[in-house]
Amino acid sequence: MRILAAMSGGVDSAVAAARAVEAGHEVVGVHLALSRMPGTLRTGSRGCCTIEDSMDAQRAANTLGIPYYVWDFSERFKLDVVDNFVAEYQAGRTPNPCMRCNERIKFAALLEKGLALGFDAVATGHYASIKEDEEGNLELHRSLAMAKDQSYVLGVLNKDQLRHSYFPLGATASKDLIRQEAADRGLSVAQKPDSYDICFIPEGDTRDWLKEFVPSEPGTILDQDGNQIGEHDSHVGFTIGQRKGLNLGRPAKDGKPRYVLEIRPITKEIIVGPEEALQISELSGTRLSWCGKPPLDPSIFFDCEVQVRAHGDTVPAQAAIINGEMIIHLREPFYGVAPGQTAVLYVGTRVLGQVTIDRTKSKASVSV
């Protein structure tokens, strides 16, 4: 196959490209320039998509003896990921930019360009596996390296994208093995720190970053009875389940901490309450997709497990599509789930599909 290897400049994508070469594929490396003004250097493990990352990717490609290009996707990234991120926070939601990047950049824009140029698939360093069922349908499964499993952020892929995706690291049991393999192959990124935090917010302070894009509009903080107990300078950047940074004027009657339960962007009100009000028993949303073959009749509730954070736990659930909306009944509660987050459905190790959460319902039947 002709493989387009997305090379971030990290160890995972470098080893993925190396394995594709070793498997006999015709491989071309490409680094995505996602910012018009990239930082020159990383700060330890913070940030990515820097000039340093591009140079690391090129060195890896040179070691592997494959062609290497840098493609400018910065405008598409700004429109589809960064602007979406800002708009979601303005609407009082909590977005996941990694999901949007995989959905709209790596496995949409990049894949579309790769297919147009005659490539058969895009290879990345994600920890996940693609398998075939007995009928030949492709399925996305968790990686053997459960501590690094990234199938959650790939839950947005559809069956056509799965056909053109290649994840060479899925059967590897640990990140340590990948680093050792990189060292054995002479790749200079073998001990490079993993990046974390949101790539376009390397300082890690989302609220502070958002101030540059959203005018501050002060509002009030209310308890569940509608009593004002505090003020804020902007609702943007608050998240459901947040405890710190509320600066409440007086303690709760029971003396227990209070958490953000609801964000009302129109009235600029933040509703806070006790931790038990964060126990969510139901999720629902309309922006959904199936990762491969869907259930035989998704209008009938089916058993599954649900995950709402990249490295979070799963809980048993039942889900169905009712009037175009996915309804998920949780058999065990999640805490602090927010509209805008993504619920990924699993059956065993298989990723079944995903939905962007529009509404949640607490065990106390308080709609958030």
What are the catalytic residues?
A: 101, 199
d(CA 65, CA 46): 29
The half-sphere exposure of 108 on its side-chain side, counting CA atoms within 13 A, is: 16
Long-range contacts of 149-153 (CB under 8 A, 24+ apart): 149/311, 150/126, 150/310, 151/127, 151/344, 151/351, 152/307, 152/309, 152/310, 152/311, 152/312, 152/342, 152/344, 152/351, 153/96, 153/98, 153/99, 153/102, 153/126, 153/310
- 3-state SS, residue 261: strand
Strands (E), 179-285: 219-222, 228-232, 259-264, 269-273, 279-285
Whether residue 47 contacts residue 199, with contact meaning beta carbons closer than 8 Å, is answered with yes
Whether residue 187 contacts residue 18, with contact meaning beta carbons closer than 8 Å, is answered with yes
Task: List b or e across 141-170, with b for residues whose CB sees 16 or more CB atoms inside 10 angstroms.
Answer: bbbbbeebbbbbbbbbbebebbebbbbbbb
The pair of three-digit structure tokens given for residue 278, joined into one six-digit string: 């964060």
Q: Bridge partners of 128?
A: 142
Long-range contacts of 228-232 (CB under 8 A, 24+ apart): 229/272, 232/268, 232/270
d(CA 180, CA 173): 12
H-run or E-run covering 121: strand 121-123
At position 37, the amino acid (one-letter code) is: M
- Radius of gyration, CA atoms only, the chain: 22
